Amino acid sequence: MTQEERTKLYIARSLIDGKMTIREAAEISGLSERQWKRIKKGVKEQGDAFVINKNRGRKPHNAISDEVKAQVVALKNSDKYNKANFSHFQELIEEHESLRLSKSTVYRILISNGFTSPKNHIHRNSHNRRKRKPRRGMLVIADASPHRWFFDDREFSLHGAVDDATGEILSLFFTPNECMEGYFEVIRDIVTIHGVPLALYVDRHTIFRSPNMDKLSIEDELSGKRIKDTQFGRAMRELGINLIYAKTPQAKGRIERLWETLQSRLPVELNIAGIKSIEEANAFLKTFITKYNQKFAVEPKEPEIDFRSLDKSLNLDYILCTKETREVDNGSAFSYNNIFYRVIRNGKTMPIIPKAKVTVLQSHKIGIKVQYSGEIYDVEQLDEKPKKQPKIEEKTVKRTKPITPSPEHPWRTKSATRTVSLVSSLLEESDREILEALYSSRCAWR
């Protein structure tokens, strides 16, 4: 009997003995006069046991059976679910084990059996959050998170992007470490599935931003001096995506909170699916993203979408790649990463002006291509460095000093003079004058 029940019994006995009135009992106990009339009558007819709750010791009809409790404890102890936090564990056993229990029930069962949630709830100081953008595609936040995603000693980097307006995951991609290729795959998924966003919010990693940008003075900027884009920055410029750089991790808090959630949930999901490699994980992420967005994504304030479709004249593979300039030799060959290649078209060498500049495109999707005069060409690898073609030497004519004729030269002799006189007699007088003038000028020149 509880203390409250003892008090009820004492007041009931006082009512039966006439030491207290019904009104006084109601005033001091908080129960109505009608209730005390019922209690007085019950104690008088049934005895002291009347004040004891009739449900004491009786199992509720909706109580969880001991077998179900034991099953929940056994599942939590298994390798399949032991790393899941309480909330995630409740979702997993409902999805995979068909155990439909509320979160509070699962919490109560686990706590009563000595379990503690692996996810610590730390009280943080409140701060004003940046308002979400009103439309999808207006701002996309991208980042990467290194973590032991497969419950082993190896760390892999998970590249991802979320839409600022809805919080939905747009793309996820695993690589051994944070790299440009991982971000290119994320952008490829976004553009292919959703479209081209207006802006991309990233940190100041050298993949996105050259460190030399901090060295520019105000005078340099006013004079028009610019720092060369990184390969990622160049690709975003070609797609028309504006890059915005965050100065602190807190500035892109939405994706930072995403990493906290994924680091708790995703390794358990990968373990349940039996995934141990990056290739399998990247294929699994498609299904995981859909399930995550159904649970956590929110509706945008405005229904309009700012994702733009990619221009049909653009080839995404020729944008999401590295681009470097090289100079070709006389045989349309060039060097790239210490390997020599020749530009070809339809299996034949492409004739290119020697020392012309070409752009080399390289990625795991397209291999190595060459862009020249707005066209894309294939290449073939050469086994050795191409030999230089010998230069054709131009024949030069040696200039000699003018020869002065000797005094005995026929032009200077009397026989030559007589020949001219003979010819002159046969000509007209006007022609004779011209001939004599020519002869005299030639002799003078000699």
Q: Are residues 265 and 377 in the same domain?
A: no
Residue 310 reports pLDDT greater than 70: yes
Please give the pLDDT value at position 83: 84
Cα-Cα-Cα-Cα dihedral sign, residues 172, 174, 180, 184: negative
Amino acid at 162: V
The single residue listed with the structure tokens 């797609």 is 239
- 278-296 vs 253-272: helix axis angle to the nearest 10? 120
Taking only the tens place, the pLDDT of each residue in 65-112 is 888 888 888 888 888 888 888 888 888 888 888 888 888 888 888 888
DSSP string, 122-190: ------PPPPPPSSBTS-EEEEEEEE-TTSSS--EEEEEEEETTT--EEEEEEESS--HHHHHHHHHHH
For residue 179, pLDDT over 70 is answered with yes
Residues 179 and 246 in one domain: yes
What is the b/e burial string over 140-156, where b = at least 16 CB atoms within 10 angstroms of the residue's CB? Answer: bbbbbbeeebbeeeeeb
The reply to whether 212 and 279 lie within a common domain is yes
Of the three residues 362, 381, 400, the one that is the final residue of a domain is 381
59, part of any domain: no
In a domain, 441, yes or no: yes
105 and 237 inside one domain:
no
Q: Establish if 363 belongs to a structural domain.
A: yes
In a domain, 70, yes or no: yes
> What are the pLDDT digits (tens) for 327-348?
999 888 999 999 999 999 988 9
Print the domain residue range for 274.
Answer: 140-296
Pair 372, 356: CB distance under 8 Å: yes
pLDDT band for position 414 (50/70/90)? low
387: in domain: no
User: Mean pLDDT score of the chain, rounded to an integer?
Assistant: 84
Q: How many structural domains comprise the chain?
A: 5
339 and 235 together in one domain: no
Q: Are residues 349 and 290 in the same domain?
A: no
222 in any annotated domain: yes
pLDDT number for residue 226: 76
87 in a structural domain: yes
- Domain final position from 360, 381, 402: 381
Residues 162 and 283 in one domain: yes
Comparing 222 with 368, which gets the higher pLDDT?
368
Confidence of residue 397 (pLDDT cuts 50, 70, 90): low
Which residues make Cβ contacts (< 8 Å) with residue 384, sequence separation at least 6?
Answer: 340
Q: Which helix (H) or strand (E) holds 210?
A: none
Asked if the model's pLDDT at residue 416 lies above 70, the reply is no
How many residues make up the chain in this entry? 446
**Percentage of the chain modeled with pLDDT above 90:** 44
Q: Maximum distance among all alpha carbons in the chain?
A: 186
286 within a domain of the structure (yes/no): yes
